[in-house]
A and B are shown apart, each in its own frame.
Chain A
């Protein structure tokens, strides 16, 4: 089996940035991922990636992907399922194949957090969605509820409000957590109503979602519900190798993005890096650092 210098798992900003650096330093590398671009694809607008102002998440993703293609960094659309440490390399079993590399960068990001509401699984795809880029939100003149109060929720609410008749933002706390610039926009929007200190406790509907019930007994008639309750790391890959993570499952990284396992680095939202800021630019920075870390690791081994 071919042994790559480096395999990067994940194709969001961290993974692609790591690939760009690895490639420019002459490493033989491969990116494995299920979705190019990752969570960035779901962002309505990105205004804080320096030098590229006010693009949609999809457009920014396209630019990262174009960069990856331009540098001819090999990519395989596969799901990494298991990492096995061999004597001096790593074997990765995927949904379709297996690959081997001297070093690994974990950059598979986070997943949408699900909420524990009765029947929520039943209505998934029938009114309940976790992705703001879901086509359900493109329909005009509907009433939509968004659960959450951080940047992602605020951004999605603004985006949906451009089409919808009415948007309810339901947040469990008394004050939105989003950046001031988003809170201002929410307050300005005429068709957005923020319901503070509230939780969704029930979902009703015959076939599709029709109504949600809040813990203050209030009922809202809506046609779609977007859950923006934050993100959680996917931990399935790291258990077998005993890669150390914090209590929430984020991979612990050092200054050089190394993990507790020599030869395995991690970058982006999946890690505790960058003071847990989890921004596109910090993910890209961590990807670059991880690639440089992997390069030094490989050179030392030689």
Chain B
């Protein structure tokens, strides 16, 4: 079977696209690894118009439940690994299946940027985290490091402060880039130590014998090594948690051959959400739109369906 439309992504842009597609009675499939992505990590959202205050988790729950009110096919827990086009038909592949569609909307958003250093992947979930709102309570009375001295790093530290004993905030550059007001707040707690010019090199932990633990055979994080870029000396910090907050990045590998990317790897679209490939549209944070906000992503999702509908109509 060939779908009229496949939407890849289950954040605000993808869900809104799904709602609009379903209401237009397009034969649609929405594929997503998870609901919400980035949004679910927000503790409190105050700028979703019409809702005074809501957690990211709750907002996404409301949105996905709204989507499920309509007739739409959903594949959840699947990550798309390849997208190709041949003779006007797109093939979307996840780990175990391939689907065909006449039009596709990519709305996969952004994922946290990684440091690509030894130990980062190995100790993920064992002391290394990309989400303070999710994991903070597990670090009660512990010493942790936050990598990144921008606003994301500061917010991460704010989420951690009421649990942890001590927080090191490590910044690569000679100054902290985050908002000075938040920095002052963090300073006042007496629990935070700011470290500048720090190039993080490795996250270390105890190796367990492979037969004792399932998976990677690793224990938990025990220390972090950074190079002080001024003295060129390595410094080791004893700690039990490392929160990485060095920004977000798009992940477009699966569609690379069909889209044009800008310098930071975002999909280039025109103002009506068209990519360079006819029939392929993109919406939300994965694109080169200027502002990344939930309501803007939702608007983009709606617009992308309008464009896809026009495209499908002209193809008939």
Contacts and interface: CB of A to CB of B under 8 A. Distances in A.
Contact of A63 (B23, B51, B299): B51
A49 B301 CA distance: 12
Contact of A70 (B52, B65, B289, B299): B52
| 5 A-B pairs with the lowest CB-CB distances in the bound complex, closest first | A285-B299, A180-B25, A51-B62, A63-B50, A17-B49
B49 A282 contact: no
B127 interface: no
Given A51-B62, A275-B307, A277-B303, A67 B52 contact: yes
A277 B306 contact: yes
B96 to A, nearest CB: 29
- The winner among B15, B49, B69 for most chain A CB atoms within 10 A is B49
B315 interface: no
A285 B298 contact: yes
Interface string A227-254: 0000000000000000000000000000
Given A48-B19, A181-B25, A286-B299, A275 B271 contact: yes
A51 B295 contact: no
A215 to B, nearest CB: 29
A284 B25 contact: no
B303 A274 contact: yes
B90 interface: no
Given A274-B306, A275-B271, 6 more contacts: A21-B293, A48-B20, A48-B23, A52-B51, A277-B303, A284-B295
B24 interface: yes
Given A67-B52, A277-B302, A284-B299, A21 B23 contact: no
Contact of A20 (B23, B49, B290): B49
A47 B271 CA distance: 25
B272 interface: yes
A86 interface: no
| Interface residue SS majority, chain B | helix
B182 to A, nearest CB: 14
B83 interface: no
Interface of A: 13, 16-17, 20-21, 24, 47-54, 60, 63-64, 66-67, 70-71, 179-181, 255-256, 274-275, 277, 279, 281-282, 284-289, 292
Nearest to B293: A288
Nearest to B273: A275
B80 interface: no
Contacts of B16: 50, 281
A50 B291 contact: no
Interface in B271-300: 271-273, 289-291, 293, 295-296, 298-300
Interface of B: 12, 15-16, 19-20, 23-25, 46-52, 59, 62-63, 65-66, 69, 271-273, 289-291, 293, 295-296, 298-300, 302-303, 306-307
Nearest to A279: B302
Contacts of A53: 65-66, 69
B46 A51 contact: no
Contact of A282 (B52, B59, B291, B302): B302
B63 A282 contact: no
Contacts of B48: 51
A71 B53 CA distance: 11
A49 B16 CA distance: 8
B296 A67 contact: no
B302 A67 contact: no
A253 B295 CA distance: 19
Contacts of B302: 48, 274, 277, 279, 281-282
Contacts of B15: 50
A181 B289 CA distance: 31
A139 B62 CA distance: 35
Contacts of A287: 49
B301 to A, nearest CB: 8
